[in-house]
Structure 1
Amino acid sequence: MLYPAEYSAARTVLLDALEALSSHLPSIVLVGAQGVYLHTGSAELAQPPMTTDADLALDTSALADEPEITSALKSAGFTPGRNPGSWLSRTGIAVDLMVVPAQSGTTKKDARAARISPHARDTARITPGLEPALVDHCLQVITALEPTDPRQIELKVAGPAALLIAKSIKIAERIADAEAGKSERLKEKDALDMFRLLQAIETEDLARGIQKHFADPQAAEVSRRGLAAMRHHGTTTRSPMPELATRAASGDSTVALSFVTLTLDLLDAVSELK
Structure 2
Amino acid sequence: MPESVPVRCPACRRECLYTAPCYPCACGTPIAPRLDHHAAPTAVAHRAWEEEWITVRCPSCGRHDQWPRPELGCACGAVLRIPVTAAAEGAAGEAGAGAAETATTPGAAGTGAEDAGTECVEARETGETGPPTEDAEAAPADTGPCPDTPPPSRVPFRPIAIRTARDAVTATALYLRWLGHQDIRRADQRPTSGIGLAARGLLAHVDPSVHPASLRDVECLWLTAMTDSADCVYFSLAGYTADARARADSLAVPLFVLDLTGTPQPVNAAAERLDAPGA
Do they superpose with TM above 0.5? Answer: no
Please identify which structure carries the higher helix content.
1
TM-score, length of structure 1 as denominator length: 0.23
TM-score, length of structure 2 as denominator length: 0.23
